[in-house]
Chain A
Amino acid sequence: MQEQASAIAVDPVAGPTTATAAPAASVHAPRRRKMTFNWRGLVSIAVFFLAWELAVRLRLPGFHELPGPITVARVLVQDFLYSPGYWESWAISFKRVLLGFLFAQILGVPLGLLLGTSRRFNAIVFPVFEMMRPIPPLAWVPLSILFWPTNEASIVFITFIGAFFIITINVYDGVKAIKKEHLWLASSLGAPRLTVFRRIIIPAVIPSIAVGMTLGIAVTWNVVIAAEMIASDSGLGRLTWEGYVSSTLPVVFVGMISIGVAGALSTWVVDVIEWRMMPWKRR
C-alpha cells in the first residue's frame, strides 16, 4: 500500500510557472494492484490445522475430548452443508445483525450529528446518553425480553444497542473534529448556513461514520451470538450452544467456524461500502 501511495504523489517542485508534462502521467496512471500470493499465510494455516489434529491425536492435556479438524470438516459436510436448517440459522443471524445494525445507523448517525451541532440539544440529551452508554449490551437482555413483545424483537434490540452507542459517539466525535477552517472557508466562499451543514459537515463526518460502521458490525456479531445463546432458539449462536449442551462437540466447532465466516463476510461488505462512500480516500 505504502509504495502505491508514493507512486501517485505529485512532484512538489514542479516549477511555479513552467508547465511540466512529466509527472502528469503518474497522477492519472491506473493504480496497479500488486497481487503477490502470501504463501507464508497458507503455510501457517496448514500448520495450525496440523497442530490441532496432532494435539487431538496425541491426546494432549485439554484436547482429549475435542474433535480434530478432519472430524469437524466431515460433520460440517455430512450433517450441515446440505441441511436447510443450518442455512436457516445463517439467515436468521444475518437478519438480526442487519436489522440491529441498520436501526443503529438510522438513529445513531442523525443523533450524533445533532449532538455535535446543537449546543442545546447536546446539553439536554448527552448526559442521558452518557449514562446509558457504559451499560454493556448483554446487560439489556432481561429488560429487553420483558419489554419487547417477541423474542425476535428483543434480540434485534440488543443487537441494536451494541452498535448504536458506538456509531453515535463516533459521528459525534467526527462533528467535533471538523476543522473550523473548513466551516469558515465555506462561508467565506459564499455557502449559506444550511449548505455548510449539508455540504461540509456531512462529508466531513463520513470517515467517522465509516469507523462507526466497522466497529458496529463487529459488535453486532458479538452481541447477536451471545444473545442467541441466552435468549433464543435459533441462529448460529444457538446452534453452537446446542452443540455444547448436547455434547456434540464437532457442532460447536461448526458453529464457531460459521460465525467467523459470517463476521468476515459482513466486514468485507462494510469495507466495500466504505470504499464507495469515500472516493477521496482511495489509494
Chain B
Amino acid sequence: MRDTLNGTSYQSGSARPSSGKVSIRNVSKIYDPEGARVVALDNFSIDFAPGDFLAIVGPSGCGKSTLLNILAGFDTLTSGEAYLDDELLASPDKPPRPGADRVVVFQQGALFPWKTVLDNVTYGLIKQGLVGRKEAEERGIAMLRSSGGLDRIAGSYPSQLSSGMQRRVEIIRALINDPKVLLLDEPFRAMDTVNKSTMHQHLLNIFRDNPKTIMFITHDLEEALYLADRVIVMTTRPGTVKLDIKVDLPRPRSREMMASHAYIALKEQTVMAVREEAQKAFERGEREMA
C-alpha cells in the first residue's frame, strides 16, 4: 500500500484521501469597512488538493488567522468564495457555519478545562449524534491508545497535562471526527524546541498514517518547510500570496534532513521573501507609532 522505504511515503501510494479539496477564490476581508477599513486579506486565492499538507507563513497580522477563521466558519468574508470539495463554504451572502468537517487546533489550546481528556475527545462524536456515548468512548480510548498510549490519561483533566500532551489530545479531538481538513493555527507556538520537535514528529506520523488535507499556519519558516508539501508565504497586510513553493523533500522526514542541500536551497529561496515581509510589517509598525 504505502511505500515508506523509498522515502516518498504517501505520494507514491494510494493513501491520498478522496475528499478535502479546498479552493479559496479571490477572498478579501475588510475589518470595519465603514471606519478604519483594515484590509486583512486582499484578493487571496489558493487551491489545494485532497491530502495536501499546506503551510502558510507570514508576519504576524498578515491575515493568516483570518483566512483560517473564514475556512473554519468563525468569521465572515467581504468578497470572494471558499469551497470545500466543490461545495460553497463561505461567501459574503452565506452566514459562516462551523462544522466538524474542518476542525481547528488553536495556538493557545482550547481543550475544555472542565472535561476530562476522554470527554473532550468524544465531545464531537456525541454532539453530532453520530454514535452513542458508549461507542464514542470506545473509539476515543482506541484513538488515544494508538496515539502513543494516551489512553492512560483518559481520566485526567487538561490542567494536569503538559502543553505538548494537551496539544496531542486536541489533535485527537479534531481527528476523531474524521474531518476533511485539519486546520492548525500555530499549534506549537508556545513550546520549547524539544517539545516542538517531538510534536512535529508526532504530527508527521499522524499525517503518514491518516493523510488529510492540512492547513498549518505558522510564522516559523523552518517548521513550515519541515512539515509541509507546499509553503505559501503571505505578504504583510493586506495579505496576498507572495510565494508559493512546492517542498519536494522525501518523506518520512527527519531532523537530519534539515542539513540537506535540498532543504537549505529551499530555505534560501524562501527566507528572503519572509524577511522582506517581516521588515515591511516592522517598518509600518514604526510608522504607525510615529
Contacts and interface: CB of A to CB of B under 8 A. Distances in A.
Interface of A: 8-21, 23-24, 27-28, 179, 181-182, 184-191, 195, 200, 203-204, 206, 278-281
Contact of B110 (A16, A181, A203, A206): A181
Contact of A184 (B74, B100, B115, B173): B74
Nearest to B72: A188
A187 B98 contact: yes
Given A10-B160, A16-B201, A182-B110, A189 B123 contact: yes
Contacts of A21: 149, 152
Contacts of A19: 145, 148-149
Interface in B90-125: 98-100, 102-104, 106, 108, 110, 112-116, 123-124
Contacts of B153: 10, 27
A191 B124 CA distance: 8
B157 A279 contact: yes
A72 to B, nearest CB: 45
Residue with the greatest number of chain A CB neighbours at <10 A, chosen from B148, B173, B199, B201: B148
B205 interface: yes
B127 interface: yes
Contact of A20 (B100, B113, B149): B149
Interface string B112-154: 1111100000011001110000000000000001011100110
Contacts of A189: 100, 103, 123-124, 127-128, 173, 177
A186 B99 CA distance: 10
Contacts, number: 116
A182 B156 contact: no
Nearest to B151: A19
B72 to A, nearest CB: 7
B127 A190 contact: yes
Given A10-B160, A188-B103, A280-B113, A24 B152 contact: yes
Contacts of A28: 152, 155
Ranked nearest first, the 10 interchain pairs of A and B with the lowest CB-CB distance are A19-B149, A16-B202, A189-B124, A190-B128, A12-B162, A181-B110, A280-B157, A188-B98, A203-B114, A190-B127
A206 B148 contact: no
A13 to B, nearest CB: 5
Contacts of B127: 186, 189-191, 195
Nearest to B202: A16
A188 B104 contact: yes
Contacts of A203: 112, 114
A27 B195 CA distance: 20
Interface residues of B, number: 49
Contact of A14 (B108, B115, B148, B173): B148
B106 A181 contact: yes
B279 interface: no
A179 B148 CA distance: 29
Contacts of B72: 184, 188
B205 to A, nearest CB: 6
B31 to A, nearest CB: 15
A95 to B, nearest CB: 33
A185 B201 CA distance: 25
A114 to B, nearest CB: 21
B164 interface: yes
Given A184-B98, A188-B100, A200-B112, 13 more contacts: A10-B160, A13-B164, A16-B202, A181-B104, A182-B110, A184-B72, A188-B72, A188-B102, A188-B124, A190-B127, A190-B128, A204-B114, A280-B115
